[in-house]
Amino acid sequence: MKGTPVSPGQALEKAHLLAQVHTFDLDKKSLSADKNRIMESIDRAVEQAVARLRRSKERAGAGSELGELFDVQETMILDPAFREEMEKLASQGYEPAAAIMRASGTQEEMFRSLEDEYMSQRADDVHDIASRVAYLVLGMEYPDISRLPENCILAGEDLMPSMLLYADMEHVAGIVLEKGTKTSHVSILASSLEIPTLVGCVGAASVEHGSLSYLDVEAGVFETGIRMEEKSIYAEKIQKYKELRKELRGFTGKDARTADGERIQLLANVIDPVSLGRPAEYGMDGVGLFRTEFLYMNRGKLPTEDEQFAIYKKAAEKIGQNPLVIRTLDIGGDKDVRCLKLPKEENPFMGFRAVRICLKQPDLLNTQLRAILRSSVYGDVRMMFPMVATVGELEALLEITSGAKKELLSEGKAFNEKMKIGIMVEIPSAVIMLEHLAPLIDFVSIGSNDLIQYTYAADRNNKNVEYLYNFMDPAVLWLIKKTIDSSRKAGIECSLCGEMAGDPLGMAVLLALGLRKFSVSTNLALSCKRHLSILSAAECAKAGEKIASARDAEETAGLVRAALPGNYS
């Protein structure tokens, strides 16, 4: 069976078939039911669920990644908008479980409508928490994998995040699911726990319980029904993989360097506070992209300055003396964000999003800027504006920033007056105008995912035009090289934080084009260090000029591969 790799690893164990979550009757009503009785039942169940989460958080440790995940789940359960929806349904006579799951459905629909894959997958978290409350209200036991008799590979249609949170981790050797994506919450959690995980694997729910199975995440393969006489073949594969992992672990405390000794800065892309402990764990040089969209999702009111400040301050303290690059709000009309009340648009990726919204609603940006500025005294905090297209936009953004600084000074609130400010380079116009933008900023970060999308006017989520989405194409590489060269000429820092930075071939191309600062997902950190240690920066540079003048992606790939050492894979 084939699937989508999530968290790297291999396993050879018996399959444990997962029980599926109960399907609730959403239409169940009671003629004699009254709203108060229904809400009393729901409130009791919510109280029980919160108590369990808090006990689990205490066991996990308040400052741990798992502890913070329990915090996220508690916030979802206690969301006022969620309760308001349940009250409305209770007044219409729906039984408690139906009211809970219908209210959950409204929230899930909102998340699933989002174009951003990571944010759309938060629907799973809402469904998960609501299901737990519904089970409690009915006095049922939620599917449980907290007591596994032996090491196993969990296989099934889907796995709720909370089921994994309560799982007997000691015996979970791997996870294979029919549903899910790389950015679903259970995938993020599995990566955090370093459990080998494969999703989108058709047939995983039909596996025979207890059958000997082999999982190779990097190859995207899950094999089941292995005969005992074949076990030694797969055991040998596992041994070779363990040797590679041992080699990778050897890079944990090492700087990222090329084979010829050139120091490369390797930073982390972080999607929410839960993942902030990983960069230091893998010996990375800080956080090159800290997304802030999670603060605005699934809520009726905008996050306050103090609420944001608390999160940014905690992040800065966790990262220590290394840089923490906080990206300002990057949300648009493709997302149903209730607290922003954005209009729906026919072509949201070309429309009203990111700094375009902030410039129309300066108070929205000012609140976030004040919170970021205040956190800057707790570490090397830097701020980055996404989707900047013109010099005029940047000047207006800097003017709002200057206003926020003046306000804080007048209030006697501390901030780092020399905090570095940068922009995302993800629109071709920003590349073209960089010589005029550069004198106003301290750094740039190339967002290769959007840069590719906007270069070819091809929606990266549209399968009909996905053939155009190729970071090896010369047009994209020309724009990247122009950005690197313009940044160097202006004396400002330049990094790249798209998927290209974590791809072995993409990394070699970027090195050839002169980039020396990469920002990648934390689970790619050690493999990136290993790949860099094999590459010679000088040899890659020799291929740089040829690469920039290639005629198509195939020629580019051929030139890059010709310059790679034989042991690069």
The catalytic residue positions are 185, 497
| CA 305, 310, 314, 315 torsion-angle sign | negative
* Geometric angle at alpha carbon 389, from 441 and 447, rounded to 5°: 75
Q: Which long-range contacts (CB under 8 A, 24 or more apart) does 40-46 make?
A: 41/96, 41/137, 42/86, 42/90, 42/96, 42/99, 42/100, 42/133, 42/137, 44/137, 45/96, 45/100, 45/133, 45/134, 45/136, 45/137, 46/77, 46/78, 46/133
Q: At what angle do helices 362-375 and 305-319 cross, to 10 degrees?
A: 40
Q: How far apart are CA 391 and CA 264, in angstroms?
A: 30
| CA 201, 203, 204, 210 torsion-angle sign | negative
Q: Which amino acid appears at position 249 of this protein?
A: R
Contact 122, 336 (CB under 8 A): no
DSSP state of 202: T
| CA 284, 290, 291, 295 torsion-angle sign | positive
Beta bridge partner(s), residue 521: 269
Tokens in use for 558? 């051929």
Beta bridge partner(s), residue 7: 197
Q: How far apart are CA 397 and CA 381, in angstroms?
A: 18
Q: How far apart are CA 362 and CA 359, in angstroms?
A: 5
Residue 466's Cα: distance from chain center in Å?
Answer: 21
